[in-house]
């Protein structure tokens, strides 16, 4: 009987409706279901619409089966294998992981990625919050400000990176160096400078991304409960205290989510250093994802590349678990 009800609810939602769509008394549907359960043949499956359901499911099954589920499974296997495309893949245990950890570049890449993350949080996290709060106070100029804020997001990322590469031109005629020249400061090497390359890349990445985050914060500001402001005013709270005690606490949830999304993004930074510097100078801008790219598509060591991508994925998984926990928690408050 439990099988029956499960069947009825899974097809139709209401227990009095048979799979064929005809409304019928409960008892009748019961007998029909019983006879059907006895003869579960492919023909009855087709007649009940199983085939057409499968036709609808097919695009999803093909797309995910071939290009999502199978590659994920294969990754886990490949990280423990040596693939040379001549013979069958050979199981080699943890060797790929050991090779990854023995690569002196790994420490560089991890350290660089940590620095990317730190600089990005330092610059990229507060800017959109402040900007959204300022724009939120504007009245007549708000539409203009919103459009201007979002403009860099529209520019294709590769174009933005190439444009900034031009701005960072290290000679005295470079755009940024000319600006420095107005203040009497010397020409800087920017992306050719070992100490400046990571901040320079992050400034570009922040420029490309701050608009989207600002718009999300602006939308979040609208949902701040305005009665609280009024209540605080009654109690004599000045502008600064209203901001500190009402606006910020109510934005906490969105802020945490945006921070985690930003972290997940920076952990996988690739296009910016790849196009701007190719990882140089002296491997100072090599990120973890660039290392994976090098292992796989330059050295042709697919096992090693997969092992490192599994490790990176693990770190990202931890972050997204945190993200999920945060959204669950903050969406309730």
Partner 1 sequence: MTTTSTFRARRRADAAAFASERSILSVHDRKQPGVRVGLTLLSILVVGTLVLISAGPLLWLFKSAVSSTQDILREPFGLWPSGIQWGNLYDAWTRIEFGKYLGNTVWIAVGSWFFGLLVATTGGYALSVLRPRYGKVVSALVLATLFIPGVISLVSLYLTVLDVPLVGVNLLNTFWAVWLPSAANAFNVLIMRRMFDALPHELFEAAKIDGAGPFRIFAFLVLPMSTPIIGVVSLLTIVQAWKEFLWPLLVLPDADKQPLSVALPRLQETAETSLMMAGMFISVIIPVALFLLFQKQFLRGAGQAGALKG
Contacts of 123 (CB under 8 A, 6+ apart): 202, 203, 206
Q: Containing H/E element for 82?
A: strand 81-82
34 binds partner 1 (CB under 8 A): no
Is the separation of the CB atoms in 333 and 253 below 8 Å? yes
201 binds partner 1 (CB under 8 A): no
CA distances from 113 to 13, 217, 268, 313 (A): 51, 26, 9, 14
Site for partner 1 in 165-184 (CB under 8 A): 165-167, 169, 173-175, 178
24 binds partner 1 (CB under 8 A): no
Closest distance of CB 29 from partner 1, Å: 14
d(CA 327, CA 15): 35
Task: Report which of 4, 75, 255, 275 is spatially closest to residue 161, judged by C-alpha positions.
Answer: 275
Task: Return the sign of the alpha-carbon dihedral for residues 31, 32, 34, 35.
Answer: positive
Would you say 108 or 306 has its CB closer to partner 1? 306
Distance, CA of 106 to chain centre: 23
52 binds partner 1 (CB under 8 A): yes
Would you say 195 or 318 has its CB closer to partner 1? 318
d(CA 132, CA 116): 24
Site for partner 1 in 308-327 (CB under 8 A): 309-310, 312-313, 316-317, 320-321, 324, 327
Closest distance of CB 263 from partner 1, Å: 12
d(CA 317, CA 155): 30
297 binds partner 1 (CB under 8 A): yes
Judged by CB under 8 A, the stretch of 98-106, 107-115, 116-124, 287-295 that binds partner 1 is 287-295
Q: Which residue among 92, 216, 259, 322 contacts partner 1 (CB under 8 A)?
A: 216
331 binds partner 1 (CB under 8 A): yes
Would you say 90 or 137 has its CB closer to partner 1? 137
Site for partner 1 in 219-248 (CB under 8 A): 219-222, 226, 229-230, 233, 239, 242-243, 246-247
3-class SS at 318?
helix
46 binds partner 1 (CB under 8 A): no
Q: Which residue among 28, 35, 40, 64 contacts partner 1 (CB under 8 A)?
A: 64
d(CA 301, CA 84): 9
Is the separation of the CB atoms in 308 and 315 below 8 Å? no
Site for partner 1 in 90-129 (CB under 8 A): none
Would you say 141 or 195 has its CB closer to partner 1? 141
User: Kind of pairing, strands 90-91 and 81-82?
Assistant: antiparallel
d(CA 74, CA 86): 18
Would you say 197 or 220 has its CB closer to partner 1? 220
32 binds partner 1 (CB under 8 A): no
Closest distance of CB 297 from partner 1, Å: 7
Would you say 4 or 169 has its CB closer to partner 1? 169
Site for partner 1 in 129-168 (CB under 8 A): 131, 133-141, 144-167
Contacts of 11 (CB under 8 A, 6+ apart): 19
């Amino acid at each position: 009987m439990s099988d029956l009800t499960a069947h009825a609810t899974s097809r139709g939602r209401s227990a009095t409706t048979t799979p064929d769509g005809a409304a019928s008394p409960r008892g009748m549907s019961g007998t029909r279901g019983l006879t059907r359960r006895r003869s579960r043949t492919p023909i009855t499956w087709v007649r009940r619409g199983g085939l057409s359901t499968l036709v609808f499911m097919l695009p999803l099954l093909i797309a995910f089966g071939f290009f999502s589920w199978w590659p994920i499974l294969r990754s886990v296997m490949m990280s423990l294998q040596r693939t040379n495309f001549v013979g069958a893949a050979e199981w080699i245990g943890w060797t790929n992981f050991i090779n990854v950890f023995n690569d002196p570049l790994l420490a560089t890449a991890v350290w660089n990625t940590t620095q990317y993350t730190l600089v990005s949080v330092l610059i990229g996290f507060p800017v959109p919050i402040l900007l959204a709060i300022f724009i939120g106070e504007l009245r007549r100029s708000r539409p203009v400000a919103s459009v201007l804020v979002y403009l860099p997001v529209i520019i294709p990322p590769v174009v933005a990176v190439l444009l900034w590469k031009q701005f960072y031109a290290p000679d005295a005629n470079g755009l940024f160096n000319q600006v420095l020249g107005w203040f009497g400061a010397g020409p800087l090497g920017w992306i050719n400078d070992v100490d400046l390359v990571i901040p320079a890349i992050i400034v570009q990445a922040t420029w490309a991304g701050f608009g989207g985050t600002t718009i999300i914060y602006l939308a979040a500001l609208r949902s701040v409960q305005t009665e609280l402001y009024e209540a605080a005013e009654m109690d004599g709270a000045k502008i600064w205290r209203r901001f500190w005690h009402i606006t910020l606490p109510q934005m906490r949830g969105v802020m945490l989510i945006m921070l985690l999304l930003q972290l997940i993004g920076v952990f996988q930074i690739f296009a910016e250093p790849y196009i701007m510097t190719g990882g140089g100078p002296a491997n100072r801008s090599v990120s973890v994802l660039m290392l994976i790219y090098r292992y796989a598509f330059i050295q042709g060591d697919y096992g090693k590349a997969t092992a490192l991508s599994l490790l990176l994925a693990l770190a990202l998984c931890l972050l997204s678990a945190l993200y999920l926990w945060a959204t669950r928690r903050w969406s309730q408050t």
